[in-house]
Structure 1
Amino acid sequence: MAETDRLTGSTEWIDLEFVERERTPREIIEKGIRHHLAGLSLSNTVVLLEELGVERSRTAIHNWVQKADLQPAGGKSPDRVAVDQKAIRINNEQYWLYAAVDPETNRILHSQLFPTYTIPIGREFLAELAEKHDVEDALFLVDDANDLKGALRRENLRFHVEIHGFRNAVERVFREIQRRTSSFSNCFSHVDPPTAETWLQAHAVWWNYAY
């Protein structure tokens, strides 16, 4: 996707109920959130808004994303689900981002941040996924990670070990996250894990509408 395409499009997916408490016009907040999630760093988003005649700080734009509380929508019934986990650094500590993607649409079904990866953690992630979507009859596509295979077995869910093919959908998601977190020097700094997860959830919502 061209970079210009990433920065355009509908903003109907941004719920701005919190705007009533903001002094910034709704369209400016929408533009700031969309451009930041699509690829601009906070500093470059500040410059963009300044070019539109609006001066707002990096902190203000960060807070807009947090207050919008964006999360991927539920209610899907995918035939296949690609699942994986990826290391994410928050300050000087390592966390693990679990993600489930519908390979037919490339849309993120669910993502969640955990302090480690284990079979119980994998089961917790799958339980959260099942609360949001109808995945009981889906075929799960995984790599050879023991935590996810063990979790799927214990949840009595069908799975297939696949290194490439349809499972590439979740790898594309992780590559995009790595591209975006390069704006943060590959690390979320000066934030707590819930704040980082809110950003990751918001980015997932942008991804689903951009792709």
Structure 2
Amino acid sequence: MAESERLSECIEWIDLSFVERKRTPEWAIQVGIRCHLASMSTRDASQLLDELGVQRSHVTIHNWVHKADLQPISTVTTDQLAIDEKVIRVNGDDYWLYGAVDPETSEILHVRLFPTTTKQTTRWFLAELHRRYQLNNVEFLVDDADYLVNVLEEDGYRFQMISHGNRNAIERVFWEIERRTSSFATSFNHLNPKTAESWLQALAVRHNSRQS
């Protein structure tokens, strides 16, 4: 079996409707995006495609990732969701990554990146989560993160403060994000926050495809 055929098997989870011209084989776009999301630099992904007979620059691969506008899409299979926040470095500044994970499937439901963590950013994140999944009577699993706990309590959400059990699902996901971003020296350099958030959302899509 040709290498390009082997790599193109079982990878069609990326919607390529953003492609306007057909000058690049779709399998090559899929491979380029997947390799980058698997922590390969865009330059290394470009070199891999070159070895497979498709010459595309690292800039082109970068554009593929962000034009794909990948967003995590899942279904809630449990009456509990694990949520948390984590500091991510973007060009030397601290940004806060909010995430929600289904502890039953370990799928990522939603991720957002904010320049600060406040009650308002927490409410934005929770409102977007509800709007996307129409959550009713879901119990949120949180640790002792101040703003998450305060907002959940003030706004009447059901929640449980817990540092083990089902909540470990989001800890494992955040650990995976840390591992994947290690190639960026645990931070995103030379990227604007919107691009960093787009990359994290695309990573969530890849993560979910591996859970199914």
Q: Output the TM-score relative to the length of structure 2.
A: 0.91
Q: Deviations over 1:22-73 (max 9, x none)?
A: 5211110011111221232223212211210112222111110000000011
**What percent identity do the matched residue pairs reach?**
54
Amino acid at match of 1:68: A
1:21 match: 21
2:191 match: 191
1:164 match: 164
1:58 match: 58
2:208 match: 208
| Contact 1:76 1:134 (C-alpha < 8 Å) held by counterparts | no
What displacement does 1:85 show?
A: 0.5
Count residues with an aligned counterpart: 205
Q: Deviations over 1:104-157 (max 9, x none)?
A: 000001110001111221111100000011322111100001100111123321
1:95 match: 95
2:4 match: none
Instruction: Provide closer, same or farther for how the CA distance between residues 12 and 156 of structure 1 changes in structure 2, counting only shifts above 3 A.
Output: farther
1:33 match: 33
Task: Output aligned runs, 1:57-76, within 5 Å.
Answer: 57-73=57-73, 76=76
2:150 match: 150
| Contact 1:142 1:149 (C-alpha < 8 Å) held by counterparts | yes
Is residue 103 of structure 2 the alignment partner of residue 110 of structure 1? no
| Contact 2:141 2:162 (C-alpha < 8 Å) held by counterparts | yes
Instruction: Provide closer, same or farther for how the CA distance between residues 8 and 119 of structure 1 changes in structure 2, counting only shifts above 3 A.
Output: farther
What displacement does 1:11 show?
A: 2.7
| Contact 1:123 1:155 (C-alpha < 8 Å) held by counterparts | no
Amino acid at match of 1:136: N
RMSD: 1.7
Quote the Cα distance in structure 2 between the aligned partners of 1:147 and 1:161: 13
What displacement does 1:102 show?
A: 0.3
Quote the Cα distance in structure 1 between the aligned partners of 2:75 and 2:108: 12
| Contact 2:77 2:104 (C-alpha < 8 Å) held by counterparts | no
> Per the alignment, in what secondary structure is the counterpart of residue 19 of structure 2?
helix
Quote the Cα distance in structure 2 between the aligned partners of 1:30 and 1:66: 13
Quote the Cα distance in structure 1 between the aligned partners of 2:8 and 2:18: 23
